[in-house]
Amino acid sequence: VFMHENILKSTLDDSDCPWLLRSETTNVYDIEEVKGPWQAWQGVIETTDVLIACNECSDEADCNLNGECNEGGSCDCNKNVEGSTFLGPRCEVVLKDNCRT
């Protein structure tokens, strides 16, 4: 990891490692001995476009096996299965009941 105290990626960057140039994890200390590509911060934040064309389920696998696909193409998530309730459009969130009284 290459860092410089006077070069910051952001005025709000308070991370433990404000890297400007980094490589894969290595045990060597010579910059020329590091194998693999280096990643350099270039001051540009790239945008990513995401398109969801079909968000309907057709079977239990589409509901992460944590619910059933209903006739409308939506997941009906399981509730209170061994102390866990499943949430989300694909039943991907596990809510565990850890309350012990």
Residue 53 within a domain: no
Predicted TM-score (pTM) of the model is 0.46
Are 8 and 39 part of one and the same domain? yes
Specify the number of domains making up the chain.
2
Q: What integer is the mean pLDDT of 23-29?
A: 79
Write down the pLDDT at residue 4.
67
Which H, E and C letters describe 31-98, residue by residue?
A: CCCCCCCCEECCCCCCCCCCCCCCCCCCCHHHHCCCEEECCCCCEEECCCECCEEEECCCCCEEEECC
Give the model's pLDDT for residue 93. 93
Range of the domain at 10: 1-46
Residue 51 covered by a domain: no
Tell me: do 1 and 34 sit in the same domain: yes
Quick one: 64 and 37 in the same domain?
Answer: no
* Mean pLDDT value across residues 45-62: 80
Question: What is the pLDDT at residue 10?
Answer: 66
Residues 4 and 41 placed together within one structural domain of the fold? yes
- Domain identity same for 9 and 35: yes
Q: Are residues 1 and 36 in the same domain?
A: yes
